[in-house]
Structure 1
Amino acid sequence: MSVAIAQTKKYFNPLDQEAVQGRLQLLNTEKDYGRLPVDAKSKVREPVWYLGTNSAGLYVEFETNADTIQVRYKVKGVLNMPHMPSIGVSGVDLYSFDKVAKEWQWAFGQYSFKDTITYNFNNIGVNTNHTYRLYLPLYNSVEWLEIGVGNAKDFKFVKNNTKPIIVYGTSIAQGACATRPGLAWTNIVGRHFSNEIINLAFSGNGRFEKPLLDLINTEDAAAVILDCIPNLAITKDRSEVQLDSIIRSAVQSIRKLHTLVPIILAEHSSAYTPGFQNIHTMEEYGRSSKVIFATYKKLKKEGLQNLYFVSAKDFGLDIESTVDYAHPNDLGMMKIAKAYNEVLRTFLK
């Protein structure tokens, strides 16, 4: 970007106006793009803390009359992974909601992945009746970020204060392996409801742990999705009985402080998928999925209210829906989002 072009724009930092959404309320005043509060560093395991610095699920909303928008930022980690491209791991994604037509639109950005990453969204029209939503990277940590528009253009951050839907999960919920941030299933779900989505998913480390459950309990949530089964396989160190106890404890921890909040449990999205030849893997996913279904039925029988369940069959993945069997591709993300949407619609507008 030339100096001349830079001088024609004015830039806005979301952190300056507490405009970052998609994270716990107690993080509103934090001056970074992480998902965990500073005091959690001593309470969670090291990989959870590191993954918590990733900006998965975070977004900012704004209104402008500019027909060209530039986003520039810097990340701290590697740009991509073997099974996930740079635009998914480290990219941003720009949507807008047309408040008249009541529909979402999407803008393609011309991107440059250098020391400073830039996205230029050019000739997108003067959309004064739109609210823009910029999704941040799924698998990288943002060091700083600015949004630029022409000097003569209007710009303001907006923020929707609603009861959030909280997702506690694994790499799949963190966003692996969406090709771009807006196609992570949590972000897809977020475009179907007015509620903010809080992504507390940690790749390889979604285990229903107390420090994370305690953080969930700080929120007055509209719903809590517990989707950790992909990281809770039955092993020599974790029996079916122990997994049942872990699940039961997680549900009761939330229910103790939030007596009416809807809680959604889920099987592994790839369990029982037809057409896969990797039988041993299917058995692993299936064993832990059977446990959570059995636990769900027992909790319901015991009278636990507002408890919901999503099965692998509900997700409906097939051999075209995944990158590496465990992680969904964009088609798989759409299927997972659809399954959750159907459950959430039973009690949310």
Structure 2
Amino acid sequence: MNSIISLSKESFLCSLFCLLSLSLSFAQGKKYYNPLAEQAIQGRLKILDQATDYGRLPQAVKSAVREPVWFLGTNSAGQYVEFTTEADSIQVRYKVKHALNMPHMPTIGVSGVDLYARKESSFAWEWAFGQYQFKDTVTYNFNNIGSDNKRTFRLYLPLYNTVDWLEIGISSNKQLQFVRKDSKPIIVYGTSIAQGACASRPGLAWTNILGRDFENEVINLAFSGNGRLEKPLLDLIVAEDASAFILDCIPNLAITRERSEAQLDSLIRHAVSMLRTKHPNTPIILAEHSSAGTPGFQNIHTMYEYGRSSHVAASTFRQLKESGVKNLYFVPAKAFSLDVNSTVDYAHPNDIGMIKIADTYRDVLQKILK
């Protein structure tokens, strides 16, 4: 009996030793790359090319913007990394600073990453499913994805969390090369809807969907509850040499006791005027609230609120056009075609809604940018 117990102990210790050896060998068999150190982050303002964090706003404006704007600006929404590698397995490990999820948005949307790839010979994007663990260090393992150095990978960063550090790991006998393309970006200034609420994963935020339809970077300057056409943000946008500006702030500019229709009209005019001062010919796109007038919504008061601010935006647009402002475009709420299956709540689109919004802006931009 004692000999059997002794043998069992030896077998257990041997198995444990083998597992530890394999784990150590696996860890030692990988090498990790830091995209921030390589200045490989895309989808953010040019002024941030040499930034040492994953924020969307430069430190220089911290005292100029309101506190919630700065906080949301530390979220990595819309940012991505592109690279090539022949490795058939990729590990992404990173740490985030805040809550992993929200009541109406899942962990992989708030705090996850998302991996796509495109071959040199095709414009079609492919997607890789990752096995993930959300612990103190978040890890995504993308395994058995094929070995092809003709692909360019695009890794999207979390939509609603702040990345502390991030590394991309591959087998030590493989190579990884970061890729950066110069392009005139499409800049989106918006609200929670544009920041990414409530996509199930980062690649399905409408700005990221849109980015896969164009060779231009899409820069996400959207701030949940705080897209208000404010001067410090407009100053940053004006400094960019963009291919188009999208101002999608109406969801955060409701008509209230503190904001009259005349004041909203003034905000829109001021934003357009600021952009036109330095960019006389760059297309500017204004939009109504994407959920305004959605058929089937029973919440009458909410629909009235959305419709009222959208009506002001439409009226201001018409007057600006009549006054001679060129290359100014407008997207009415009906163009987004949202319905009762398109949102998770009163306004925030689910994946269906995100696709509809992205498709609408794509059609507008394809006509404008040709």
Report the residue type matching 2:137 in the other structure: T
Distance of 1:91 and 1:3 partners within structure 2: 26
> Paired residue for 1:67, among 84, 88, 93?
88
Distance of 1:171 and 1:121 partners within structure 2: 29
- What per-residue deviation string (whole Å, max 9, x for no partner) do you get for residues 102-152 of structure 1? 210000000000000000000000121110000000000000000000011
Structure 1 counterpart SS, 2:167: strand
Report the residue type matching 2:362 in the other structure: N
- What per-residue deviation string (whole Å, max 9, x for no partner) do you get for residues 224-277 of structure 1? 000000000000111111110111101111111111110000000000000010
Structure 2 counterpart SS, 1:345: helix
- What per-residue deviation string (whole Å, max 9, x for no partner) do you get for residues 277-335 of structure 1? 00000000000000000000000000100001111100010000000021000000000
Structure 2 counterpart SS, 1:91: coil
Report the residue type matching 1:102 in the other structure: F
Map of 1:13 onto structure 2: 34
Map of 1:239 onto structure 2: 260
Report the residue type matching 1:92 in the other structure: V
Distance of 1:101 and 1:330 partners within structure 2: 25
What's the % identity of the aligned pairs? 69
Map of 2:242 onto structure 1: 221
> Superposition RMSD on alpha carbons, in Å?
0.9
Distance of 1:56 and 1:24 partners within structure 2: 12
Map of 1:160 onto structure 2: 181
**Which of structure 1's runs of 4+ aligned residues deviate more than 4 A?**
none
Shift of residue 6 of structure 1?
A: 1.4
Give the alignment's TM-score, normalised by structure 1: 0.99
Distance of 2:118 and 2:216 partners within structure 1: 14
Give the alignment's TM-score, normalised by structure 2: 0.93
Structure 2 counterpart SS, 1:308: strand
Deviates more, 1:156-165 or 1:96-105: 96-105
Report the residue type matching 2:100 in the other structure: L
Q: Give 5+ residue unaligned stretches, structure 1.
A: none
Distance of 1:289 and 1:3 partners within structure 2: 59
> Paired residue for 1:2, among 16, 23, 28?
23
Structure 2 counterpart SS, 1:188: helix
Q: Are residues 1:37 and 2:58 paired? A: yes
Q: Are residues 1:337 and 2:358 paired? A: yes
The structure having more radius of gyration, on CA atoms, is 2
Q: Are residues 1:123 and 2:144 paired? A: yes
Distance of 1:254 and 1:101 partners within structure 2: 35
Distance of 1:52 and 1:231 partners within structure 2: 16
Map of 2:273 onto structure 1: 252
> Paired residue for 2:161, among 140, 144, 149?
140
Map of 1:113 onto structure 2: 134
> Paired residue for 2:251, among 225, 230, 241?
230
Shift of residue 5 of structure 1?
A: 1.6
> Paired residue for 1:94, among 115, 126, 137?
115
> Paired residue for 2:103, among 71, 82, 95?
82
Shift of residue 15 of structure 1?
A: 1.1
> Paired residue for 1:315, among 330, 336, 348?
336
Distance of 2:293 and 2:88 partners within structure 1: 47
Map of 1:171 onto structure 2: 192
Shift of residue 101 of structure 1?
A: 2.6
Q: Are residues 1:183 and 2:221 paired? A: no
Q: How many residues align?
A: 349
Distance of 1:126 and 1:315 partners within structure 2: 39
**Structure with more of its chain in helix, by fraction:** 2
Shift of residue 347 of structure 1?
A: 2.3
Report the residue type matching 1:253 in the other structure: M
Q: Are residues 1:281 and 2:315 paired? A: no
Q: Give 5+ residue unaligned stretches, structure 2.
A: 1-21
Shift of residue 3 of structure 1?
A: 3.1
